[in-house]
Amino acid sequence: MSSFLLITLALFAMTLMLATVVISWRDAIKERKVAPTIPDEDAPIISVIVPARDEEENITAVLQDLFAQDYPRDRMQVIVVDDGGSDGTADRVRGMMPLWPQLQLLESAGPGKKAAITTGVGAARGDLVVLTDADVRFGPLRVRSIVAHWLKERSDLIVLPVWTEGSGVLGGIQQGEQAALLGMAIGTAVQGRPVLAYGANLAFSRAAFGAVGGYQGDRFASGDDHFLLQRMRLSGKRITAFHFKDVVVTAKAAPSFSAFLQQRLRWAGKMRGAGMAQIVGGGAVLSLPWVLLWHTMRFNFVDRIGDHALFTLALLIGAWGCWALPPLLLIGAVRSGAARGANMAGALFGLIAFTCYAPVIGIAALFARPKWKGRTLHPRA
């Protein structure tokens, strides 16, 4: 058996293992149960925290979505924490407060989203805290559905879905990327091995937040979702996932390539705070299709006649199928659970695009220090 065939067998085995993992995420998502419900008389007091920095254009809409929630208003405390902004965000909130006694506006006790969240948690009256970014939209059943899941599961942290809405080629790429990552987030959480969460839509027990020390000692200004998830997991807290159309929040896709690049650099920069296993595993997954492409380009059927040419060709085709098909099935399951129509052609294009840009961004993030609204997010030390 030649070395070429041995390498082909190894690549097929690796893609098959990856496919098995991704399909297991898809299966976990497809096994979701009917969303639980609660009557008004059983609804507990909960606290919704909205960290906001220079969100004058968006804050009114997200507060309107919260005001319209199908949940007893006197049992839903809403806390907007102004994270040192310089626009009219605070004025917009103050304008709604006279007609909404449960709405509060606080100044963050320190710079950064983590400090803003910590400030909000300190003022929270509810045992359950729901995080909401100031630039997302959602339906009227979101809070009631999250609370019903929490009461049923008694979760310390709930991984919740975020959907990206965009138009054109760039928007389509971001939708596909977000759907695949959401599939990984929900699938791994359902399996009891969570690796990803979204601060734009996250719920946790106030007691559990205090028990793990909140964000105390974190060096990064961003990554509130990722690092809180890590702390909860390492502390043995109960983490669940709830992927259902009523709890989805929708975020706008980055409008330009420059904004898209900066956003991905911010996200990838969080990995410097991840464990070595996640970094090595992520690097291996991103490298696999490139190694497979290099090996495929070396294959010449005529030259391989007499050296199991047909078998080698079948292994290469199988390897590519194992690499491409499971993510598409995962994206389909995610879209179905979020009540979004299927777009497999766009998903395939997005998968190919992600394969091209993700390794570049991953490497660049090791050196770049991106800024968000005037702040450097990832320190050098």
Backbone angles phi, psi at 372, to 5 degrees: -135, 115
Per-residue pLDDT of 234-265, as tens digits, reads 999 999 999 989 999 999 999 899 888 888 88
Q: Using 50, 70 and 90 to split pLDDT, how confident is the model at 337?
A: confident
Average pLDDT for residues 332-340, to the nearest whole number?
Answer: 80
Per-residue pLDDT of 304-325, as tens digits, reads 676 788 899 999 999 999 999 9
Q: Using 50, 70 and 90 to split pLDDT, how confident is the model at 381?
A: very low
Which among 135-139, 224-228, 350-354 has the top mean pLDDT? 135-139
CB-based burial label for 217 (10 Å; 0-12, 13-18, 19+)? exposed
| pLDDT score recorded for residue 273 | 58
* Bigger pLDDT: 106 vs 172: 106
Residue 351, C-beta contacts closer than 8 angstroms, at least 6 positions apart: 176, 180, 324, 327, 328
Q: Using 50, 70 and 90 to split pLDDT, how confident is the model at 130?
A: very high
Per-residue pLDDT of 186-241, as tens digits, reads 999 999 999 899 999 999 999 999 999 999 877 666 678 888 999 999 999 999 99
Mean pLDDT, the chain, rounded, equals 88
| pLDDT score recorded for residue 194 | 93
| pLDDT score recorded for residue 271 | 63
Percent of the chain scoring above 90 in pLDDT: 57
| pLDDT score recorded for residue 339 | 65
Above 60 in pLDDT, residue 378? no
Q: Using 50, 70 and 90 to split pLDDT, how confident is the model at 112?
A: confident
